[in-house]
Structure 1
Amino acid sequence: MGAQLRVYKRRIKAVTATKKITKAMEMIAASRIVKAQRRVAASTPYASELTRAVTAVATGSNTRHPLTTEVEKPTRAAVLLVTSDRGLAGGYSSNAIKAAEQLTTRLRGEGREVVHYIIGRKGVGYYSFRERPVAGSWTGFTDNPTYADAKMVADPLIEAVLKDTAEGGVDELYIVSTEFVSMMTQTPVDKRLLPLTLEKADAEDGAKDKILPLFEFEPSDEAVLDALLPRYVESRVYNALLQAAASEHAARRRAMKSATDNAEELIKSFTRLANAARQADITQEISEIVGGASALADATAGSDR
């Protein structure tokens, strides 16, 4: 029994040390979520307004441009997958990868060749382990992305969109990332960035005869769209990175809280088992003392006779 008690004490000590680590990681993630939420709140209106502006310009232009022109029969599509650099975030990265796999299956079912671009070590590791080709990958900034990181990612994507498919270009650009809904809910989403789906005039207004604004382009509508294309892609990628970073911190906080709670339950369980083992040791010692005393008394009584 003494050996069993030592085993329980070692387990309690190990679980307690793990609990301290998970609790610290939970607090760190909780502190980072606030900052990440503020960055998402600051970036989302800019990205939405820029998309609206690009839509307005494209609506008033008759120029065929990669930003807005739908290919009749698209043959190649690029998919940008956003995962995390670090683990211990529950199913955050695996859910994003699963969404990317579903999108890839759907696109291939529609006859498109899919080219993958990966952000985050988890996604890179997933594709490299399965020996799948990747056109581009980036790591090291998923938990705290900057606009420079978004621009670095967007540049090769824009280049692929502008390039002809016969030369290795793509007809469509998709992004798979995790959208931050709340502290408890983060949803993997896939969105098509290019070609941009032109939004109709405010459907909520219900005015079919609404007069649309007229635009004059300087120096030309094509030049304006050329200037807006990189800004649009960069802003959408940046917003997706910020949403993913907030989602990663929230998922890690939730996972670490769950791990801390489980550690507390294990400590309680091992403590009860240790107490039971200690009580069994004490009971056994008392039984041995009583048995020895009885044997000694019987032996003494026998010798007196």
Structure 2
Amino acid sequence: MGAQLRVYRQKIRGAQTTKKITRAMELISASRIQKAMQRVQASTPYARAVTRAVSAVATYSNVEHVLTTEAENPTRAAIVLFTSDRGLAGPFNSQVIREASELRTRLEGEGKTVVHYLVGRKAVGYFAFRRRPFEREWIGETDNPTIATAHEIAEAIVGRFVQPTDEGGVDEIHIVYNRFVSMLTQEPETVRLLPLEVVEGVADDTDAGPFPLYEFEPEVADVLDALLPVYIESRLYNAMLQSSAAKHAATQKAMKSASDNADKLIRDYTRLANNARQSEITQQISEIVGGADALSSAK
């Protein structure tokens, strides 16, 4: 009984230590999530406004631009995968990696060669463990994204997009990330970044007449040349911020669940330890009573 009681007490101390760690991580994520949510809320309207501006130029003009024109026979596609640098976030990384795998399967089913650009140590570790090739990686800034990293990613993928496919270029660029919905919900999101396919601000069906043609100053091509890099960079930066906020929320939820499980383990092991202690005391009393009876009988 004594050995069993020591085991239970060791497990209680281990669960209490684990609870201290998970509780501390929960509080850290709770303190960071508010700032991450504010950055998302500040970035999203700007990204939408830039998207509407680019969509207006691409929709209401008859000019063809390399970043808005789809290839006749696309053969290569790129996937930019956003994960986190750290774990302990529940299904945060696994669900976005699964979403990227499904997208890759679909693109390969269409006869396209897929290349990957990875953001976050978890994506890099996943590909390295399975010995899957990838083009480039960015790590170290997933918790607190910077516009400089978004600019670097944008330059890398746009450079490949405008490059001929026979020289290593791509015809399509997709981004896969976790979108922050609420503190309890983070959904994997897939967006085709290039060629531009999002059209916002279109006239309602009730509006009569054809769509208007805008006059641009300077030329439409010059406007697109100026807007599209800003559009791509803003969308990438918003995706990084969304992924960061979703990661902090997922970590807080996972650590809250871990702390609750630790409390349950402590209660269960405490009850078992009390039962073991009670059995030990009962056995000791029985031995004392038995010894006393034996002494009385010997007299």
Is the structural similarity TM-score above 0.5?
Answer: yes
What is residue 224 of structure 1 aligned with on the other side?
223
CA offset digits 1:252-273 (Å, max 9, x no partner): 0000000000000000000001
The whole-number CA distance in structure 1 between the counterparts of 2:211 and 2:122 is 50
Q: Are 1:267 and 2:266 counterparts?
A: yes
What is residue 12 of structure 2 aligned with on the other side?
12
Once the two structures are TM-superposed, the CA of residue 206 in structure 1 deviates from its matched residue by 2.5
The whole-number CA distance in structure 2 between the counterparts of 1:147 and 1:159 is 18
Letter in 1 for 2:244: A
Distance 1:198 1:247, change over 3 A: closer
Q: Are 1:2 and 2:19 counterparts?
A: no
Q: What does 1:244-259 correspond to in 2, within 5 Å?
A: 244-259=243-258
What is residue 175 of structure 2 aligned with on the other side?
175
Aligned length: 299
The whole-number CA distance in structure 1 between the counterparts of 2:278 and 2:203 is 75
Distance 1:296 1:60, change over 3 A: same
**% identical equivalent positions:** 57
Contact 1:107 1:114 in 2 (8 A): yes
Once the two structures are TM-superposed, the CA of residue 68 in structure 1 deviates from its matched residue by 1.1
Any unmatched runs of 5+ in structure 2? none
3-state SS, counterpart of residue 115 of structure 1:
strand
Once the two structures are TM-superposed, the CA of residue 295 in structure 1 deviates from its matched residue by 0.6
Letter in 2 for 1:291: G
Once the two structures are TM-superposed, the CA of residue 201 in structure 1 deviates from its matched residue by 5.3
Contact 1:85 1:142 in 2 (8 A): yes
Letter in 2 for 1:61: S
TM-score (norm 1): 0.95
CA offset digits 1:136-180 (Å, max 9, x no partner): 110000011011111111110010111111111111110000000
The whole-number CA distance in structure 2 between the counterparts of 1:78 and 1:135 is 9
Letter in 1 for 2:265: L
Any unmatched runs of 5+ in structure 1? 301-305
What is residue 91 of structure 2 aligned with on the other side?
91
Runs of 4+ in 1 over 4 A off after TM superposition: none
Q: Are 1:239 and 2:238 counterparts?
A: yes
CA offset digits 1:42-66 (Å, max 9, x no partner): 0000000000001111223333212
Letter in 2 for 1:253: Q
Contact 1:183 1:250 in 2 (8 A): yes
The whole-number CA distance in structure 2 between the counterparts of 1:297 and 1:130 is 76
What is residue 195 of structure 1 aligned with on the other side?
195
TM-score (norm 2): 0.97
Q: What does 1:1-305 correspond to in 2, within 5 Å?
A: 1-197=1-197, 199=199, 202-204=202-204, 206-209=206-209, 212-218=212-218, 220-300=219-299
CA offset digits 1:268-293 (Å, max 9, x no partner): 00000100010011000000000000
